[in-house]
């Protein structure tokens, strides 16, 4: 199995989650500007959407989209989803919130078409971070156990740090907690991140 990633991109969430799940996988670095993998393959041949993350299974089938990959990882390692009858559904709900309400807003912070747009996006992300704090049920989103959604949220916080988006103190503490996890340390080491 392979994970196609770009250092520090949203694929970091999948990278962390796959380590948390104890999966064995190779990593293939993608140059998103040149749209080439590290061995020179046009990335469009791997994923016609031309973005990371992509998981390639041993039979050659591929899976894209953070929500789908992070949900799939939790199917492989059920401890990475909240417990209870509706655990898988709650995970999906949280992944969708992070993807559509936080991840997407960062696009407007990284590549704003105007100062006003960047300010509006920062405000939106701030509101959503405040909501996340209200939703958090313990040290992690769903209580005292890490989930694949935590890996996604943590990745969003690395972007907040990079771009100076305000982070509530609860999320700063969450960031530090996540940063100490062996899976996070390993993913940082593999991606050459600080
Ligand atoms: N809907 C996709 C979006 C993935 C995405 O935004 N990937 C970014 C990196 S964080 C990317 O590869 N961008 C390159 C591009 O769009 O050209 C998902 O959630 O997986």
Beta pairing, strands 62-64 & 2-5: unpaired
pLDDT of 76 reads 98
Residue with the smallest CA separation from ligand 1 atom 15 is 51
Q: Give dist(CA 179, CA 172) in Å, integer.
A: 10
Residue 71 pLDDT exceeds 90: yes
pLDDT of 166 reads 95
Among residues of the chain, what percentage have pLDDT more than 70?
100
On whether the pTM is more than 0.85, the answer is: yes
Quick one: tokens of 123? 């405000």
Pick the CATH number of 81-181 from 1.10.1840.10, 1.10.260.40, 3.60.70.12, 1.20.1050.10: 1.20.1050.10
Evaluate the CA torsion angle 1, 189, 141, 130 in order and state its sign. negative
pLDDT of 141 reads 98
Is 12 a pocket residue for ligand 1 (Cβ < 6 Å)?
A: no
Give the confidence band of 90 by pLDDT, cuts at 50, 70, 90: very high
Give me ligand 1 centre to Cα 85, in Å.
Answer: 31
Q: DSSP per residue over 46-115, as a string?
A: H-TT--S-EEE-TTS-EEE-HHHHHHHHHHHSGGGS--STTHHHHHHHHHHHIIIIIIHHHHHHHS-SSH
Q: What are phi and psi of 143, to 5 degrees?
A: 130, -135
Q: What are phi and psi of 57, to 5 degrees?
A: -80, 170
CATH number of 2-77+184-191: 3.40.30.10
Looking at the CA of residue 69, tell me the nearest atom of ligand 1: 20
pLDDT of 139 reads 98
8 SS3 class? coil
Domain ranges of the chain: 2-77+184-191, 81-181
Tens of pLDDT, residues 2-12: 999 999 999 99
Looking at the CA of residue 53, tell me the nearest atom of ligand 1: 20
Quick one: tokens of 88? 């898988």
Mean pLDDT score of the chain, rounded to an integer? 98
Give me ligand 1 centre to Cα 50, in Å.
Answer: 8
Among residues of the chain, what percentage have pLDDT more than 90?
99
Residue 59 pLDDT exceeds 90: yes
Residue 194 pLDDT exceeds 90: no
Tens of pLDDT, residues 94-146: 999 999 999 999 999 999 999 999 999 999 999 999 999 999 999 999 999 99
140 SS3 class? strand
């Amino acid at each position: 199995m392979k994970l196609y990633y770009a250092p520090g991109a949203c694929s970091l969430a999948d990278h962390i989650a796959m380590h948390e799940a104890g999966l064995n996988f190779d990593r293939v670095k993608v140059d998103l500007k040149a749209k080439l993998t590290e061995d020179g393959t046009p990335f469009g041949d791997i994923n016609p959407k031309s973005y990371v993350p992509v998981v390639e299974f041993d039979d050659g089938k591929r899976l894209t989209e953070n929500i789908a990959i992070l949900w799939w990882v939790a199917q492989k390692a059920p401890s990475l989803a909240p417990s209870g009858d509706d655990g898988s559904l709650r995970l999906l709900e949280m992944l969708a919130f992070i993807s559509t309400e936080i991840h997407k807003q960062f696009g407007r912070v990284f590549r704003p078409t105007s100062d006003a747009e960047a300010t509006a996006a920062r405000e939106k992300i701030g509101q959503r971070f405040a909501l996340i704090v209200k939703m958090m049920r313990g040290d992690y989103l769903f209580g005292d156990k890490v989930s694949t959604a935590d890996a996604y949220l943590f990745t969003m916080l690395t972007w907040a740090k990079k771009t100076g988006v305000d982070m509530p103190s609860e999320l700063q503490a969450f960031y530090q907690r996540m940063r100490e996890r062996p899976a996070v340390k390993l993913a940082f080491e593999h991606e050459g991140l600080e």
